[in-house]
């Protein structure tokens, strides 16, 4: 039997004024807040036994931080105690806005100076994908990211990949260079013979189009491989 006089959800308003995330944001700025406090502002209320900050911290712990929340299936978030569709949507939307902000203005676009830079840009999301996805990172003359375009979803092999599709957007926006990235859902980023064959074809096409192919990365679980560093397909 459930109690008819159950306690109400814990609210941010129940916290001491100096501990309330919204007031702290107004007084100190958003950069002063923890991830849990920022999420708590989206949640607004907690649940019985947990205020909004504690619910937010529980979610961060369970999913492994903001990147884990970003990767988590929407249905799994909805089913977490204290969420539901509306709050799960708010969290997903806020994280996606933050991701898009990094690509919005030329001054703030990340620059790719190494394979590790490129991997860091996509790994947290692509390592969690259940199918193979092939994406192209489009770069300007300073190796700043112009866009990240998904080209294929499904098996990535030399018989299916049309090399021209990889360069279509690069030609349209006059990109100077590209980095090709795809994931291995198995978690093992070891390049396959097909990966090497696709890379070789892409590099040759890039030379004809005067677009530098800087690398081809294979993303696994917690690790990645640069075919350029391995000398595979770039000889």
Domains along the sequence of the chain with CATH: 12-101 (1.10.150), 111-230 (3.40.140.10)
pLDDT of residue 3: 41
pLDDT of residue 105: 58
Query: Which of the four pLDDT bands, split at 50, 70 and 90, describes residue 159?
Result: low
pLDDT of residue 123: 85
Please indicate, yes or no, whether the overall pTM of this predicted structure exceeds 0.75: no
Mean pLDDT of the chain: 84
How far is 132 from 185, CA to CA, in rounded Å? 6
* 92-143: pLDDT as tens digits: 999 888 877 766 655 567 789 999 999 988 887 888 888 899 999 999 999 9
Give Cβ neighbours of residue 62 (< 8 Å, ≥ 6 apart). Answer: 68, 80
**Cα-Cα-Cα-Cα dihedral sign, residues 185, 221, 81, 9:** negative
pLDDT of residue 135: 94
Residue in the structure block whose two tokens are 């620059």: 111
Number of other CB atoms surrounding residue 95 within 10 Å: 17
pLDDT of residue 7: 45
**166 burial type by CB count under 10 A (0-12 exposed, 13-18 middle, 19+ buried):** buried
How far is 21 from 13, CA to CA, in rounded Å? 10
pLDDT of residue 181: 96
pLDDT at 60 over 80: yes
Query: Which of the four pLDDT bands, split at 50, 70 and 90, describes residue 72?
Result: confident
Query: Which of the four pLDDT bands, split at 50, 70 and 90, describes residue 26?
Result: confident
The C-alpha R_g of the chain, in whole angstroms, comes to 22
Q: Please compute the mean of the pLDDT values over residues 199-220 and round it to a whole number.
A: 95
Query: Which of the four pLDDT bands, split at 50, 70 and 90, describes residue 174?
Result: very high
């Amino acid at each position: 039997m459930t109690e008819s006089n159950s306690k109400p959800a814990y609210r941010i308003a129940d916290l001491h004024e100096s501990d309330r995330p919204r007031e702290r944001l107004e007084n100190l700025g958003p950069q002063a807040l923890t991830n849990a406090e920022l999420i708590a502002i989206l949640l607004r209320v907690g649940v019985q036994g947990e205020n909004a900050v504690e619910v937010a911290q529980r979610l961060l712990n369970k999913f492994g931080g903001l990147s884990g929340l970003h990767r988590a299936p929407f249905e799994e978030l909805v089913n977490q105690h204290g969420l539901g569709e509306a709050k799960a949507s708010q969290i997903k939307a806020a994280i996606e806005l933050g991701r898009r902000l990094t690509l919005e203005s030329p001054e703030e676009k990340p620059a790719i100076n190494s394979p590790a830079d490129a991997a860091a840009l996509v790994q947290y999301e692509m390592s969690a994908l259940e199918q193979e996805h092939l994406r192209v990172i489009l770069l300007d003359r300073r190796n700043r990211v112009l866009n990240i375009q998904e080209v294929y979803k499904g098996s990535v092999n030399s018989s299916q990949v049309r090399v021209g599709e990889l360069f279509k957007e690069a030609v349209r926006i006059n990109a100077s260079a590209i980095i090709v990235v795809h994931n291995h859902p198995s978690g093992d980023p070891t390049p396959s013979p097909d990966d090497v064959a696709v890379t070789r074809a892409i590099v040759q096409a890039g030379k004809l189009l005067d677009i530098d192919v800087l690398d081809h990365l294979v993303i696994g679980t917690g690790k990645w491989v640069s075919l350029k560093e391995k000398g595979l397909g770039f000889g």
